[in-house]
Each structure stands twice: as C-alpha cells, then as structure tokens.
C-alpha cells in the first residue's frame, strides 16, 4: 500500500501582524505648531519657576506656566483633529511606543508613579513644608490661586488638584474633537469635565475658604460613602466658625 501524499510547508501563524507600512506623515498645520510651541514655552517657564526663578508665586508666573501648558495642549488637540473627517480613528495604537508599553509608555508610567510617591511621602520635594513656612518649588507656582480659592497657602494637594483638573479639561478637548460624530461621547466628556471642575475642585476649595472641612462631593459614592453616616454629617455641619 502506497503512502498518502502530504503537503510540506512552513507556516508562520503570526505572519502579517507586523507593523504595516505607513504613509509619509503630512505637515503639521500652523495651529498645531503654535500649540506645541506654547506647550514648550509652558514647560520652560514651569522649570524656571520651580527652580526659584523669576515670576515664581505670581499670577503672571502661573499664566506663563500652567496657563500656557493648558492653552497649548488644548490647541494642539483641536488642530490635530480639526482637519480630519469625523469618524473612529485608532490607527497605530498597537504599535505606539506610548500606548503599547513601549519606551515612552514606561517613561510616562514612571513619571506618574513618581509624582504620587512625592505627593504622599516627600511633599517637601514639591515645595510644601509642614512647618508652615512659605511654599517653594512647584507648589509655589500655584500659590496665588490657592490664596484666592482657599484663603491659605498652597499645599501639595492643591497643586495636585490643579494638575488633575487641567488635565481633565485639556483632554476633554481631545475627546470632543476625536468623537465629534458621537453625541454620547460628547455628553459624557462634558459631564466628566463639569463635575471635575465644579464638584471635585471648585466647591471643596470654596468650603476651605469659608473655614469648613474639605469634602469632594463627587467622591461620596462609592469611595467615601461614610460621608453619609450620621456622625460624619453632624461633624461637617458643626465644623467651622
């Protein structure tokens, strides 16, 4: 009995999953170049002021650092999507160094983890001093805003609140432009931005201004449901002048 013939071939099941060829990147629009330039100037101003340079702890310093960063970031995201057709665009995510655990992703993760380590355990390195002395470093940059909002010097947590709120607002511009064809995403983004700005940042700091306990209303459920317990409610009502 003769042997049955068989096919002998080398098959690679992952063939075809490598990064596809990319078209030449188009020139950046003028508005996006301007936005990136503002981001660069904002980073430079922030580094100078955090090092104790001119304008640190002034309104002009705050506007030239965090203000330019926020304005430049929002303009960059707007210009990036303004000239495109509405629709889902997720090209290159799998092969992105920032989004697919590449080198840029590791750098971003380490920086964010390091920020939280400084906030919780080494706030003095950010410029907050527990002995009540005037803030320095990064904390000093937001000190003018803290004195208006809370009637007291800035702390590391006020700095964090400013950073977090600005990030939400800037990336909301990206979400609205990227998903401008989707009404659900637009409403969702506007809701997140509104509640972060008003309920998670403005109102809690306003309570401190009136010498009431700091409380984030948006964190009551499910993170801090104990705020609704009778003893907590009574404590908040009885606190302050």
**pLDDT, tens digit (0-9, with 9 covering 90-100), for 133-184:** 999 999 999 999 999 999 999 999 999 999 999 999 999 999 999 999 999 9
To the nearest 10°, report the CA torsion of 24, 99, 69, 126: -150
pLDDT for 190 equals 98
List alpha helices for 51-182, DSSP H.
59-62, 68-82, 103-121, 137-141, 143-150, 156-178
Half-sphere exposure of 93 (CA within 13 A, CB side): 4
Which of 12-26, 80-94, 171-185, 217-231 has the largest mean confidence?
171-185
Mean pLDDT for all residues in the chain: 88
* Domain-wise residue ranges, the chain: 30-84+101-210
For 24, which DSSP code? Answer: P
With vertex at residue 147, the alpha carbon angle to CA 219 and CA 40, rounded to the nearest 5 degrees, is 80
Name residues whose C-beta falls within 8 Å of residue 164's C-beta, 6 or more positions apart in sequence. 196, 201
Would you tell me how many other CB atoms lie within 10 Å of the CB of residue 126? 20
Lowest mean pLDDT among 41-45, 71-75, 145-149, 211-215: 211-215
| Separation of alpha carbons 125 and 123, rounded Å | 5
| Separation of alpha carbons 238 and 35, rounded Å | 48
Note the pTM of the prediction, 2 decimals.
0.85
pLDDT range class, residue 83, cuts 50, 70, 90: confident
* Average pLDDT over every residue of 92-104: 86
């Amino acid at each position: 009995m003769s042997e049955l013939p068989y096919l002998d071939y080398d098959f690679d099941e992952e063939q075809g999953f490598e990064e596809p060829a990319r078209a030449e990147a188009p020139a950046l629009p003028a508005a996006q170049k301007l936005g990136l330039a503002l981001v660069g100037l904002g980073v430079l101003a922030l580094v100078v002021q955090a090092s104790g340079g001119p304008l640190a702890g002034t309104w002009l310093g705050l506007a030239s650092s965090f203000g330019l960063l926020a304005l430049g970031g929002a303009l960059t995201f707007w210009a990036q999507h303004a000239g495109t057709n509405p629709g889902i665009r997720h090209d290159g995510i799998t092969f992105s160094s920032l989004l697919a655990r590449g080198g840029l992703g590791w750098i971003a993760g380490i920086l964010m983890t390091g920020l939280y380590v400084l906030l919780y355990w080494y706030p003095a390195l950010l410029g907050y001093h527990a002995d009540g002395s005037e803030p320095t470093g990064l904390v000093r940059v937001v000190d003018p805003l803290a004195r208006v909002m809370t009637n007291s010097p800035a702390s590391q947590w006020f700095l964090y609140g400013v950073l977090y709120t600005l990030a939400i607002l800037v990336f909301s511009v990206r979400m609205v432009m990227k998903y401008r064809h989707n009404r659900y995403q637009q409403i969702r983004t506007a809701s997140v931005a509104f509640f972060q700005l008003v309920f998670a940042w403005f109102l809690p700091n306003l309570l401190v201004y009136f010498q009431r306990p700091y409380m984030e209303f948006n964190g009551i459920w499910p993170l801090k449901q104990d705020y609704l317990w009778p003893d907590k409610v009574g404590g908040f009502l009885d606190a302050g002048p």
